[in-house]
Amino acid sequence: MIYLSPSKINLHLGVTGRLPNGYHTIETLFMEIPWYDEIDIEVCSKGPIKVTTSIDLCKMEENLCYKAAKLLKENSNLDCGCSIHLNKNIPTGAGLGGGSANCAVVLKALNSLWKLNYSEEELENLGVKLGADVPFFIKGGTSVARGVGDKLTTVKNNLSDIYILIIYKNIHVSTSWAYKNLNISLTEEKKSSIFDTVALRGLDMADLGSFGNDFEKVVFQKHRELKEIIELLDSEGSIFSRMSGSGSSIFGFFKDENKVFSLEERFRGEGCLTKVVKF
């Protein structure tokens, strides 16, 4: 059976503190978007876990789909096996959460196929062991996330008639590098009241001007061309432009359909990977 594995953008991403174990706390606004990997999963009553991919990503045992299946199998004390094929469309190291979504989709699919009956909350608790973004993809939709990204509040998304242009310039940004090079005060946890408001009444266009990304400064210092993409999108009428996650994908919101597809063609002609989605 084939399952669609989505991606996300961060409309806002603020680093709010540092935990004793060295991990950082964040405040972010996740928005699931319809740019998909496809995952084909077949199960058997006994046997190993096998994972293949459309592109050479890593050793099978290091693949996030494999790790998700292995975690679920071991946690449930099963003999069941499965074969998973990942058709990868979403770029890696792009701030779009593709790997985390793959984990979530495998957990949810095998929970059903293996008839395990875990609740959504139980799957989220398993998923966070594989990555901080995994619980969001278990839940999906639009959410404010706090903690390490695992404390989720679902938000009603009131955005409509918006085209989102996503641009990936084939620049891989390591999340660990981005955190290491942040130069902001983390002496006490920060919190923005805008998200309490958004959580109560939903996300509106007027909220976008309050959002930012703490990673843009450090990433743009190393990759000036990413900042130039945002500047170009803004000059071409983007309502809202940001970098997603710790990079390096850039996105812009547009109302004008002709404009957004013209820009997509331009960036694609320059060798970028692009995607337009509509809300």
DSSP state of 148: T
The least confident of 44-53, 125-134, 193-202 is 193-202
Is 146 found in the same domain as 261?
no
Banded model confidence at residue 161, pLDDT cuts 50, 70, 90: very high
pLDDT in tens, 232-245: 999 999 999 999 99
Residues near 58 by Cβ (< 8 Å), separated by ≥ 6?
none
pLDDT score of 262 more than 90: yes
- Length, in residues, of the chain: 279
Residue 190 CB neighbour total at 10 angstroms:
15
- Note the pLDDT of residue 182: 87
Banded model confidence at residue 107, pLDDT cuts 50, 70, 90: very high
Q: What is the CATH number of the domain that holds 134?
A: 3.30.230.10
Q: Is 278 a catalytic residue?
A: no
Is 133 found in the same domain as 21?
yes
pLDDT score of 250 more than 90: yes
Is 114 found in the same domain as 4?
yes
Is 257 found in the same domain as 135?
no
Q: Which of 8, 73, 169, 275 is catalytic?
A: 8
Give CA–CA dist 115/136, Å, rounded.
22
User: Average model confidence (pLDDT) for the chain?
Assistant: 93
Quote the domain boundaries for residue 239.
Answer: 161-190+214-276
pLDDT in tens, 88-104: 999 988 999 999 999 99
Is 8 found in the same domain as 75?
yes
pLDDT in tens, 24-35: 889 999 999 999
User: Does residue 266 contact residue 154 with C-beta atoms inside 8 Å?
Assistant: no
Look at residues 11, 9, 262, 273 and name the one whose alpha carbon lies nearest to residue 137: 9
Q: Which of 133, 150, 207, 214 is catalytic?
A: 133
Identify whether 41 is part of a domain: yes
Give CA–CA dist 14/217, Å, rounded.
12
Q: Is 8 a catalytic residue?
A: yes
Residues near 29 by Cβ (< 8 Å), separated by ≥ 6?
10, 11, 12, 13, 142, 143, 144, 145, 155, 195, 198, 203, 211
Alpha helices for 114-239 (secondary structure H): 120-127, 134-139, 175-180, 193-201, 215-222, 224-235
- Note the pLDDT of residue 18: 83
Banded model confidence at residue 153, pLDDT cuts 50, 70, 90: very high
